[in-house]
Amino acid sequence: MTTAAYLVLAAVLFAVGLLGTLVPANAIGRLVGVELMLAASALTFAAAAVGFRELDGQVAALVVIAVAIAQASVGASLVTRARRPE
Partner 1 sequence: MSLEQAVFAVAGLVCIVAAIIAATHRDPRTAGGAFLLTLASLAVLYAGLAAPAVSAAVILVGLFVTVPVLVPLTVPVSHGPVAAGPAVAGAALLIAGATFAIIFATIALGEVPINVSLRSSDGYDVAALRDIVTGRSAAAVGASAVLLIAVLMAARAARRDPQRSP
- Residue 53 per-residue DSSP state: T
Q: In the window 57-76, what residues touch partner 1 (CB under 8 A)?
A: 58-63, 65-70, 72-74, 76
Tell me how far, at minimum, the Cβ of 78 lies from partner 1, in Å. Answer: 9
Task: Lay out the site mask for partner 1 across 10-49 (x = CB under 8 A, - = otherwise).
Answer: -xxxxxxxxxxxxxxxxxxxx-xx-xx--x--xx--xxxx
CA distances from 86 to 34, 40, 47, 77, 78 (A): 28, 37, 47, 15, 14
Contact yes or no for 45/54 (Cβ under 8 A): no
Q: Which of 61, 39, 37 is nearest to 49 (CA)?
A: 61
- Size of the residue set binding partner 1 (CB under 8 A): 67
User: CB of 71: closest distance to partner 1 in angstroms?
Assistant: 9
**Residue 80 and residue 43 in contact, taking contact as beta carbons nearer than 8 Å:** no
The residues of the shown chain that bind partner 1, judged by CB under 8 A, are 1-9, 11-30, 32-33, 35-36, 39, 42-43, 46-53, 55-56, 58-63, 65-70, 72-74, 76-77, 79-81, 83
